[in-house]
Structure 1
Amino acid sequence: MAKYERFEDLPVWQHAIRIGVGIYQLVESEKLAKDYRAKDQLIGSAISISNNIAEGFEYNRNRQFIRYLEISKGSAGELRSQLFLLLSVGKIDKGAYQAYYLDLVELSSELKGLIKYLNEFEDKKKKS
């Protein structure tokens, strides 16, 4: 894995930002525009993903970073759940839901892979 000097260079952070931008655009749709609670929840979950990646990275300690990546992964799951609920009550259409669902599953997989990589790296350091 390449050595990254800034969290902004991390592909997983960039992916999380793209999802966050999309969520900001989604909440401006007609059906969600006045649903302030849903908007706040969606935006909160979406920005939590990228913010936790950034915060964890800045600690410069793999164990801290892993913990924040786990929190980011949890926020991605929370966002998927919120989107499913909004689909179920007719606030978003199936196409939007499916696009975000697939994107969030992919992001969760990327986070899981990075967590695994960092855990294995830390385990190797212990054995050395």
Structure 2
Amino acid sequence: MEVWRDSMELVEMIYKISDTFPDSERFGLTSQIRRAAISIPSNIAEGAARRSTPEYLRFLSIARGSLSEIATQTQIANRLGYSSASPRLDEYIDLIFAKLTALMNVLNKRGDA
């Protein structure tokens, strides 16, 4: 699934970016942003393995929420000077958000949600 593949690439990007955060953030922002990143492909996969469309939609919604967390956390990292703004990352976050939303819309239109 394309959105899952994209979210796996996002995990790699987040790990590389957060690797530059100060050691003092190891249990703070670094941990939080990495957990949010890992949550996205994990929830997509778990939802896809469920037996019903409503369950799948619930997990996709959780994945989209985690993506929003990452958008906020990257802005926090930028404001604190832990990283610099990355248009590529921002575009990738927007792309994944759009793909998740499109998938959710398709599933909702099936009528069994």
Q: Which bracket does the TM-score occupy, shorter chain normalised?
A: over 0.9
Deviation, structure 1 residue 33: 4.4
Q: Which amino acid aligns with 1:22?
A: M
CA RMSD between the two structures: 1.3
Q: Relative contact order (alpha carbons < 8 A, sep ≥ 6): 1 or 2 greater? A: 2
Q: Is the 8 A contact 2:22 2:82 kept in 1?
A: no
Q: Is the 8 A contact 2:71 2:90 kept in 1?
A: yes
Q: Which consecutive aligned stretches of 4+ in structure 1 deviate over 2 angstroms post-superposition?
A: none
Matches within 5 A, 1:31-42: 32-34=21-23, 35-36=25-26, 37-42=28-33
Q: Which amino acid aligns with 2:65?
A: G
TM-score, scaled to structure 2: 0.92
Q: Does 1:109 align with 2:98?
A: yes
Structure 2: how far apart are the matches of 1:82 and 1:26?
Answer: 12
Q: Which amino acid aligns with 1:111?
A: L
CA offset digits 1:1-44 (Å, max 9, x no partner): xxxxxxxxx10100000000111111212xx0412111101101
Q: Which has the larger radius of gyration?
A: 1
Q: Does 1:76 align with 2:63?
A: no
Question: Which deviates the most, 16-25 or 32-41?
Answer: 32-41
Q: Which amino acid aligns with 1:92?
A: S
TM-score, scaled to structure 1: 0.82
Q: Which amino acid aligns with 1:45?
A: A
Aligned partner of 2:56 in structure 1 is 65
Aligned partner of 1:93 in structure 2 is 84
CA offset digits 1:71-117 (Å, max 9, x no partner): 101110010000011111111112x3x22111111100000000000
Structure 2: how far apart are the matches of 1:92 and 1:60?
Answer: 41
Structure 1: how far apart are the matches of 2:29 and 2:100?
Answer: 25
Q: Percent of aligned positions with the same letter in both sequences? A: 23
Gaps of 5+ in 1: 1-9
